[in-house]
Amino acid sequence: MKSKLILMLLMTVLVLSACGKEEQGESMTLLDQENSEIAFPQDKPTLFFFITTYT
């Protein structure tokens, strides 16, 4: 049962990733914890993580 769930999750991620655009029209800019702008490169695929804390 657990392996079926993992397989379905991986298939869902594969389908959702295939539905994305080839290239984003504008650059993506985020703010870090010090309010500095961080821009992601658009010429190659980029993987980024969001780590949040609630205090």
pLDDT, tens digit, 9 for 90 and up, residues 9-40: 999 988 887 776 666 566 778 888 888 888 87
- Structure tokens of 8? 């379905």
Q: Which of 6-10, 11-15, 51-55 has the highest mean pLDDT?
A: 6-10
User: Which has more pLDDT, 19 or 2?
Assistant: 2
Kindly report whether the global pTM for this prediction surpasses the value 0.75: no
Residue 51 phi, psi (nearest 5): -115, 120
One-letter identity of residue 44: K
